[in-house]
Amino acid sequence: MSWQRIVLPFTTEISPDIVEIGKRAQEVYRQEKQPEGFAMFHATEGPGKGDHEDRWIVYFSPVAATVCSEAVSDYTLEPCEVPHHNEPNIAFVFGDAKVMGALRR
């Protein structure tokens, strides 16, 4: 499986969907015994005004996408390119920190 992402509406408050996706992914990460190559990132997309045109992005590395696809099946996982290391607000959430080196430069 390739890199995958879930796109969510932007909120200035804590997004319950992002929290839920993170909880599910973390549980899978533990159950799968912390597989190498598993990583989850958050970023934003849009003009950056904090309004309805902005989006939250949850990125899954190929390993994470493969093992988490069932756990997040009620969200839409869509294939994407490898994220850029300097995407707006990109943050490593958890997983194999070596995957940060795979981000596009």
Q: Which residue has the higher pLDDT, 70 or 48?
A: 70
Nearest to 103 by CA among 86, 90, 85: 85
Tens digits of per-residue pLDDT, 22-64? 999 999 999 999 999 999 999 999 988 888 899 999 999 999 9
Q: Domain coordinates of the chain in residue numbers?
A: 4-102
Position 33 scores a pLDDT of 98
Note the pLDDT of residue 95. 98
pLDDT for residue 1: 80
Question: Do 43 and 88 touch, CB atoms closer than 8 A?
Answer: yes
